[in-house]
């Protein structure tokens, strides 16, 4: 006999419909499975009952498990007349029965018994399959009154040890099935129950899937797939969490406020810090003072001053309260010496007496403290301020952090690379330069103008016009070139006329320097006045400008230019598909914001070591978030595989069709090694339009990186995101406005030019942000902006091909369904289609309403299965789980390539093979189109003549007959019974296939 059992844990329900006439109800749950019925106890007067009761059903035939159903019906019991009132039910089928290790608590929306039932609320269940022989099935429920329902004492949860082969086959067949995703609202008692579980399997599940949540008082994460049908393996799936944040516990996107006061930092977990502000000192004697602040094993040091009695530091130290190992704070002033530093004096504080400051209260005023050394006389005074606060304190971003330290030695210069910082990328402009002509060019006696061109340069951007030849001193180009410039315009436009006098030898005829801050700006396509500029003979003279000109110079070469700053465009500094801002450059064209985006960067779990220090693997991580012009960088937490940041940031949102990008990096600058790059650990993209307004999304996003060895999960990034809409009407109107500024449509840029300008913009932004303190390095900016998205990759090509196939799969499904209807595969369906077809032909005014109604019904049906979480990186969609090692090696190859000729030859042959298949598909599509054209272009005179006769006869016949009749005859002919069909193609198909195409003219 099989030991297989179906375990059902009835957790609780919420938001039930009141049925007792007093705004409440007395509820219980009946479970039906395979002819067995169990019931819970009755909860009196509770619209949000909590049961936490377990039941086990016997499964007699494991092979039929996926065909069985579980019904959980919730009732209100009325004592007055001993009756029960239906409150809703949950109907689960075979795909919901998973092993215990994969089971989570899901809150299912209650279903109605009929259309007119008034039902609301959700029921929380945990359903799993086990074959543990120590678990006994529950006693069946008899027909007694619900108030007498009792629960059989259940044994402790134990995970299934093994399953029979038939059960494994049942579960394996569910991989390709579409999974319905429901919203998860865990109960508050779930956390206690999870902690009280004593079985080894339950403990293992907690360790693998929710270790960090358990440590911080959170329930384990719920695995939810962002989109049904595109689910990745469980290890790469998105997980919904329920953390305790500053505003309360987040459950299913709603904040359950507790007794703690709400904080302005309500999307992060409050973290207590001991802040010590060292302001200044008054000392005696000639010394080199510095201050050492020490709490337990953590020690912070200020910079030292040489030979001063009144040093001023104004530096803040922040010690995390959770890892403080002492109740005493010591602040010592020391004298810097070569061999041994001398202690000048010490100030000690008992941490129990330190006050607590809660913003927006005013900062704590610093005080003077006498510093003494034993029984010596007075040595001086030190101005300090000591208080307890959270990361919402104004001093937090620029403070020295104890949780950012590691056991290794980190230089004081490296602390500048560890602070959190907010950056603002510069406002970018397109510089449009039209080179018209040049006159009165003066060349040397021994040279002539052969191939003259104009070279234009702004910073590191260099562009050249096409070369022209002329026997006179007048040259004409009439060519437009575009650059990217950033405010403030530090780099001028340098224009030089070059003459090619020999192979790889150019001569400068003249040059002019044009400051960009003096050029015209425009926000539309109005005409810009052209100007003549004098050309200096040498570049130094051109750099001197008007001041370097001499009065005796009467003759100048000159060039005719049109230079302007185009502010009507949006300058893309990243991939067009992942743009975080779509506003034009000119501020006059900016509209008001439609909402706010708040993000709490909570923590990262399960990191892999990226480097070694002191013989052990470590990682020093920080997060970067980019949206619009605002970039944020969290503090670096050193030597931690589970760092907690709990930093919150806010952006203004101007367009919902924008993307927030958050990435995690390993800091490689902590050992004074500027040559090291910051390694990428993973990235998350979140489109604003996929977020519901006002809901708090708390999820653990998998950090996936593609390595030469394949895709690898580097950890999980925990985020809390909330999009707040200021006006729903303005948000809706934004959907009907142009996606890009008007200049992109009035005077569009071609694709090649836009990609070139995007690359220039990324370099300009990277150069500007690398000059900040701490610098945001170039590799970080390039990774955030997806600069390599345009490079060739066999993996991306296959992924895009399968995406295209998925898009057309719906059309192919409709074609297959029509084929089944026309071949009478399902006679009842075919008869119904005949009836519907007859109605639409007889009443053609119903065609469009029927189509739109059908689309409405499909959309409302899919509303039940709408994604509950934002989309995340999907390895199956990216074709990263089936990529071959050689394809990965090709993707990570440099450009130009560094591989041997033999490898290149083999890859070229493979590329030819793939391109040949694509070529065949495109050729087939072109052939069908050319055959349609051949009906009327007389390439086949007999076929065109027959088609002309057919068109003439058809026109006369359709004129004298109702137009419904030929449509009816055509439809009935296509749906004729198989007995009336022939195995050979019909005459119209044969005629079409015989039409000529241009394939005959191909070489």
Do 749 and 805 fall into the same domain? no
- What is residue 267's three-state secondary structure? coil
508 exposed, middle or buried (CB, 10 Å; 0-12, 13-18, 19+)? Answer: middle
CA 862 to chain centre: 23
With H, G, I as helix, E, B as strand and everything else as coil, classify residue 235.
helix
259-263, 550-554, 890-894, 932-936: which is most confident: 932-936
pLDDT tens for 435-466 read 999 888 777 666 667 788 999 999 899 999 99
| pLDDT one-digit tens code per residue, 813-845 | 888 888 888 888 888 888 888 888 888 888 877
Q: Is 687 helix (H, G, I), strand (E, B) or coil?
A: strand
Residue 764, pLDDT > 90, answer yes
Q: Are 876 and 934 within one domain?
A: yes
Q: What average pLDDT is seen over the chain?
A: 79
| pLDDT of 858 | 81
Cα–Cα distance measured from residue 28 to residue 75, given in angstroms and rounded to the nearest whole number: 6
pLDDT at residue 551, as a whole number: 47
pLDDT given at position 72: 93
**Residue 178 forms part of a structural domain:** no
What is the reported pLDDT for 235?
64
Q: Which of 103, 130, 157 lies at the terminal end of a domain, its last residue?
A: 130
- At residue 142, the pLDDT reads 47
Indicate if 639 and 774 belong to the same structural domain: yes
**Average confidence (pLDDT) over 175-189:** 38
* DSSP 8-state code for residue 892: T
Looking up residue 642, the CATH number of its domain turns out to be 2.60.40.150
pLDDT tens by residue, 388-429: 988 888 888 888 888 766 544 555 556 767 888 899 999 999
Are 366 and 383 a contacting pair, CB within 8 Å?
yes
Residue 840 placed within a domain: yes
Give 66's DSSP letter.
G
847 and 822 within one domain: yes
Q: Which among 203, 224, 223 is positioned nearest to 214, based on CA atoms? A: 203
Between CA 277 and CA 382 the distance in angstroms is: 11
Cα 35 to Cα 129: distance, rounded to the nearest angstrom? 17
Q: How far apart are CA 141 and CA 893, in angstroms?
A: 67
* pLDDT score at 264: 66
**What is residue 165's predicted lDDT score, i.e. its pLDDT?**
46
Find all residues with CB under 8 Å of 1002, minimum gap 6, and list them: none
Q: What is the number of other CB atoms lying within 10 angstroms of the CB of residue 8?
A: 22
Asked if residue 828 belongs to a domain, the reply is yes
Instruction: Note if the bond before 488 is cis, omega within 30 degrees.
Output: yes
Q: For the segment 923-945, what is each residue's pLDDT rounded down to a tens digit?
A: 777 778 888 888 888 888 888 88
* Residue 300: closest CA among 338, 327, 332, 259: 332
Of the two residues 808 and 627, the one the predictor is more confident about is 627
Greater pLDDT, 236 or 395: 395
Q: Are residues 766 and 833 in the same domain?
A: no
Q: Is residue 181 included in any domain, yes or no?
A: no
Residue 578 lies in a domain: no
Name the domain boundary from 763, 785, 807: 785
Q: Judge contact between 19 and 124, C-beta under 8 A.
A: no
Residue 62, burial from CB neighbour count under 10 angstroms (0-12, 13-18, 19+): buried
**Residue 162 confidence (pLDDT):** 41
> In this structure, are 685 and 742 located in the same domain?
yes
Q: Kindly state whether residues 522 and 646 are assigned to the same domain.
A: no
One domain for residues 780 and 861 = no
Residue with tokens 């001041």: 547
Regarding whether 768 and 807 lie in a shared domain, the answer is no
Return phi, psi of residue 212, to 5°: -70, -35
Range ranked top by mean pLDDT from 475-479, 499-503, 611-615, 985-989: 475-479
- Residue 690 and residue 623 in one domain: yes
Pair 778, 813 in one domain: no
Q: What's the pLDDT band for 625 if we cut at 50, 70, 90? A: very high
8 Å CB contact between 217 and 85: no
Report phi then psi at 65, rounded to 5.
-65, -40
CA distance to 566, 593, 696, 735, per residue, from 732 (Å): 29, 13, 21, 6
- Residue-wise DSSP of 424-454: EPPPEEEEEEEEEEEES----TT---SEEEE
Locate tokens 């399968």: which residue? 802
- Decide: helix, strand or coil at residue 461: strand
Is it the case that residue 222 has pLDDT exceeding 50? Answer: no
Residue-wise pLDDT for 511-531, tens only, equals 899 999 888 888 888 888 899
Radius of gyration of the chain (CA): 37
Strand, helix or coil for residue 308: coil
Among 91-105, 417-431, 872-886, 950-964, the range of highest mean pLDDT: 417-431
- Which residues, other chains included, contact 64 with Cβ-Cβ below 8 Å and sequence gap of 6+? none
**Does any domain span residue 412?**
no
Mean pLDDT, rounded, for 672-679: 74
> In the predicted model, is pLDDT for residue 378 greater than 80?
no
- Cα separation values, 968 from 148, 826, 868, 952, Å: 66, 21, 45, 21
Query: For the chain, what is the domain count?
Result: 5
Final residue of a structural domain among 106, 130, 154: 130
Q: Residue 262: inside a domain, yes or no? A: no
393 with 346, same domain? yes
Q: Is the dihedral of CA 793, 799, 801, 804 positive or negative?
A: negative
In this prediction, residue 217 carries a pLDDT of 39
| Host domain of residue 304 | 272-403
């Amino acid at each position: 006999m099989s030991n297989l059992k179906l375990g059902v844990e009835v957790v609780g329900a919420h938001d039930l419909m009141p049925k007792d006439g007093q705004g409440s109800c007395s509820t219980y749950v009946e479970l039906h499975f395979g002819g067995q019925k169990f019931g819970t106890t009755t909860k009196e007067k509770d619209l949000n009952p909590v049961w936490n009761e377990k039941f086990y059903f016997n499964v007699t035939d494991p092979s039929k498990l996926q065909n069985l159903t579980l019904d959980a019906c919730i009732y209100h019991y009325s004592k007055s007349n001993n009756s029960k009132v239906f409150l809703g039910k949950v109907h689960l089928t075979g795909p919901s029965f998973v092993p215990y290790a994969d089971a989570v608590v899901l809150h299912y929306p209650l279903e109605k018994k009929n259309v007119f039932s008034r039902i609301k609320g959700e029921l929380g269940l945990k359903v799993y399959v086990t074959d543990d022989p120590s678990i006994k099935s529950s006693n069946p429920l008899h027909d007694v009154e619900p108030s007498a329902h009792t629960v059989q004492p259940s044994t402790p949860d134990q995970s299934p040890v093994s399953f029979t082969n038939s059960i494994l086959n049942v579960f394996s067949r569910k991989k390709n099935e579409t999974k319905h995703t429901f919203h998860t609202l865990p109960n508050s008692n779930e956390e206690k129950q999870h902690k009280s579980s004593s079985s080894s399997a339950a403990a293992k599940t907690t360790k693998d899937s929710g270790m960090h949540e358990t440590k911080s008082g959170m329930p384990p994460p719920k695995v939810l797939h962002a989109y049904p049908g595109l689910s990745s393996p469980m290890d790469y799936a998105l997980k919904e969490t329920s953390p305790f944040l500053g505003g309360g516990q987040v459950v299913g996107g709603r904040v359950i406020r507790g007794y703690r006061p709400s904080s302005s930092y309500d999307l992060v977990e409050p973290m207590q810090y001991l802040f010590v502000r060292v302001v200044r000192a008054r000392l005696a004697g000639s010394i080199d003072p510095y201050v050492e602040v020490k709490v337990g094993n953590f020690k912070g040091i200020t910079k030292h001053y040489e030979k001063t009695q009144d040093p001023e530091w104004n530096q803040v130290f922040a010690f995390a309260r959770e890892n403080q190992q002492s109740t005493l704070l010591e602040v010592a002033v020391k004298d810097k010496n070569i061999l041994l530093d001398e202690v000048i004096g010490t100030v000690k504080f008992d941490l129990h007496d330190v006050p607590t400051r809660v913003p927006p209260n005013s900062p704590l005023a610093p005080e003077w403290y006498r510093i003494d050394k034993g029984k010596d006389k007075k040595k001086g005074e030190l101005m300090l301020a000591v208080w307890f606060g959270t990361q919402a304190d104004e001093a937090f971003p620029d403070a020295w952090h104890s949780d950012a330290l590691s056991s290794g030695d980190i230089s004081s210069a490296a602390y500048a690379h560890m602070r959190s910082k907010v950056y603002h990328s510069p406002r970018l402009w397109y510089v449009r330069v039209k080179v018209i002509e040049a006159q009165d060019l003066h060349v040397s006696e021994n040279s002539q103008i052969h191939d003259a061109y104009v070279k234009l340069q702004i910073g590191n951007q260099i562009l050249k016009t096409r070369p022209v030849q002329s026997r006179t001193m007048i040259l004409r180009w009439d060519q437009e070139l575009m650059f990217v410039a950033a405010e403030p315009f530090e780099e001028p436009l340098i224009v030089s006329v070059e003459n090619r006098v020999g192979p790889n030898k150019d001569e400068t005829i003249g040059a002019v320097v044009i400051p960009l801050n003096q050029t015209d700006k425009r926000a539309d396509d109005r005409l810009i006045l052209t100007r003549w500029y004098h050309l200096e003979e040498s570049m130094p003279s051109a750099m001197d400008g008007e001041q370097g000109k001499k009065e005796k110079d009467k003759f100048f070469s000159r060039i005719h230019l049109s230079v302007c700053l185009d502010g009507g465009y949006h300058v893309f500094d990243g991939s067009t598909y992942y743009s975080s801002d779509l506003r034009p450059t000119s501020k006059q064209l900016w509209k008001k914001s439609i909402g706010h985006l708040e993000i709490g960067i909570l923590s990262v779990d399960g990191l892999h070591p990226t480097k070694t220090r002191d013989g052990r693997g470590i990682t020093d991580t920080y997060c970067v978030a980019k949206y619009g012009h605002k970039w944020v960088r969290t503090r670096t937490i050193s030597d931690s595989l589970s760092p907690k940041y709990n930093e919150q940031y806010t952006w203004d949102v101007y367009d919902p069709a924008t993307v927030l990008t958050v990435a995690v990096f390993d800091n490689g600058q902590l050992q004074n090694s500027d040559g090291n790059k910051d390694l990428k650990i993973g990235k998350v993209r979140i489109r604003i339009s996929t977020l519901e307004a006002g809901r708090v999304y708390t999820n653990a996003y998998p950090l996936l990186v593609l390595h030469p060895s394949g895709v690898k999960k580097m950890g999980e990034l925990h985020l809390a995101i909330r999009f707040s809409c200021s006006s729903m009407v303005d948000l809706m109107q934004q959907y009907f406005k142009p996606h890009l500024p008007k200049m992109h449509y009035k005077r569009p840029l071609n694709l090649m030019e836009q990609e070139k300008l995007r690359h220039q913009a990324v370099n300009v932004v990277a150069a500007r942000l690398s000059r900040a303190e701490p610098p945001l390095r170039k590799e970080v900016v390039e990774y955030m902006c997806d600069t390599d998205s345009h490079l060739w990759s066999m993996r991306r090509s296959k992924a895009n091909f399968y995406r295209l196939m998925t898009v057309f799969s719906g059309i192919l499904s409709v074609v297959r369904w029509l084929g089944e209807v026309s071949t009478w595969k399902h006679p009842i369906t075919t008869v119904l289609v005949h009836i519907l077809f007859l109605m639409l032909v007889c009443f053609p005014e119903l065609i469009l309403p029927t189509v739109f109604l059908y689309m409405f019904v499909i959309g409302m049906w899919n509303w039940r299965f709408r994604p509950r979480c934002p989309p995340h990186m999907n390895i199956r969609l990216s074709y990263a789980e089936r990529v071959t090692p050689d394809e990965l090696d090709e993707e990570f190859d440099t450009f130009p390539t560094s591989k041997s000729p033999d490898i290149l030859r083999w890859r070229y042959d493979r590329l030819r093979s793939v391109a040949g298949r694509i070529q065949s598909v495109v050729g087939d599509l072109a052939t069908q189109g050319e055959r349609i054209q051949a009906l009327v272009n007389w390439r086949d005179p007999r076929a065109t003549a027959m088609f002309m006769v057919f068109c003439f006869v058809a026109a006369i016949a359709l004129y004298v007959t109702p137009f419904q009749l030929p449509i009816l005859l055509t439809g009935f002919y296509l749906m004729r019974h198989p007995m009336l069909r022939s195995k050979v193609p019909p005459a119209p198909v044969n005629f079409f296939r015989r039409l000529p195409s241009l394939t005959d003219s191909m070489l």
